[in-house]
């Protein structure tokens, strides 16, 4: 069984706010379903999105998308035998009360992103969700690429020489040959973001699950 971005409870939640329409967790879930799940040998259920109204399952693999507020996943406490997939190692400690946390580096569909490569004609942009830049000052010439469908976002981002980005947005910058700039005090070192394809991440996840489940 898979609870993903197509679940009615999640779709209804997305439509409540334009800001949620193009949430990166939606696109990550889509890639997990398309590029990772088919390559992983497991009898576990999958929860690829955070939507408490959908319910949940015992013996599941859960992708934790919110690294700043992993407590949003506390609704999973009622379920047993969970493997919690964290995109940054710092989150593992925060969710261990819910099950078995593992660190699987964030990944993207590299080929899909690289098809948008083009000539760099713009200077610097911020790419990510608006709440993530709250309280942070950026250079006056920064263009904010926010709240738009991913294809449009990648098409615009590809034109920039530099970009402030973290997480999967940072990986997309790397894939587009856009130089990363740090802005989030939690992640002062841009070198921590390493390009990883979804399919390679699937192999890593498969190996980790073998160790856990035998």
Q: In terms of domains, do 100 and 57 share one? A: yes
Q: In terms of domains, do 20 and 95 share one? A: yes
pLDDT (tens, 9 = 90+) of the chain, 214 residues, equals 999 888 888 887 776 665 666 778 889 999 999 999 999 999 999 999 888 877 778 999 999 998 878 888 889 999 999 999 999 999 999 999 999 999 999 999 999 999 999 999 999 999 988 878 888 999 999 999 988 889 999 999 999 999 999 999 999 999 999 999 999 999 999 999 999 999 999 999 999 999 999 8
Give the pLDDT confidence score for residue 199 in this predicted structure: 98
Number of structural domains, the chain? 2
Q: In terms of domains, do 101 and 24 share one? A: yes
Q: In terms of domains, do 69 and 115 share one? A: no
Give the residue among 56, 45, 91, 83 at the shortest CA–CA distance from 213. Answer: 83
Q: In terms of domains, do 157 and 99 share one? A: no
Q: In terms of domains, do 122 and 43 share one? A: no
Q: In terms of domains, do 92 and 134 share one? A: no
Q: In terms of domains, do 143 and 99 share one? A: no
Find all residues with CB under 8 Å of 204, minimum gap 6, and list them.
104, 105
Q: In terms of domains, do 90 and 147 share one? A: no
For the chain, what is the radius of gyration of the CA atoms?
A: 17
Q: In terms of domains, do 17 and 103 share one? A: yes
Q: In terms of domains, do 26 and 44 share one? A: yes
Find all residues with CB under 8 Å of 137, minimum gap 6, and list them.
none
Q: In terms of domains, do 132 and 70 share one? A: no
Question: What is the extent of the structural domain holding 30?
Answer: 2-107+196-213
């Amino acid at each position: 069984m898979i609870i993903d971005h197509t679940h009615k409870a999640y779709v209804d939640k997305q439509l409540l706010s334009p800001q949620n329409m193009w949430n990166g967790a939606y696109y990550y879930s889509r890639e997990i379903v398309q590029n990772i799940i088919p390559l992983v040998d497991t009898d576990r259920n999958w929860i690829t999105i955070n939507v408490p109204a959908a319910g949940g399952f015992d013996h599941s693999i859960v992708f934790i998308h919110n690294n700043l507020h992993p407590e949003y996943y506390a609704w999973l406490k009622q379920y047993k035998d969970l493997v919690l997939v964290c995109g940054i190692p710092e989150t593992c400690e925060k969710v261990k009360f819910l099950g078995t946390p593992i660190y699987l580096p964030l990944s993207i569909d590299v080929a899909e992103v690289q098809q948008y490569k083009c000539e760099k004609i713009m200077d610097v942009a911020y790419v990510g969700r608006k709440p993530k830049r709250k309280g942070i000052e950026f250079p006056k010439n920064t263009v904010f690429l926010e709240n738009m469908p991913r294809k449009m976002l990648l098409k615009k981002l590809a034109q920039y020489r530099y970009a402030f980005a973290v997480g999967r947005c940072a990986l997309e910058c790397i894939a587009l040959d856009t130089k990363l700039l740090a802005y989030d005090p939690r992640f002062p070192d841009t070198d921590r973001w390493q390009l990883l394809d979804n399919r390679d991440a699937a192999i890593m996840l498969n190996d980790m699950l073998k160790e856990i489940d035998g």
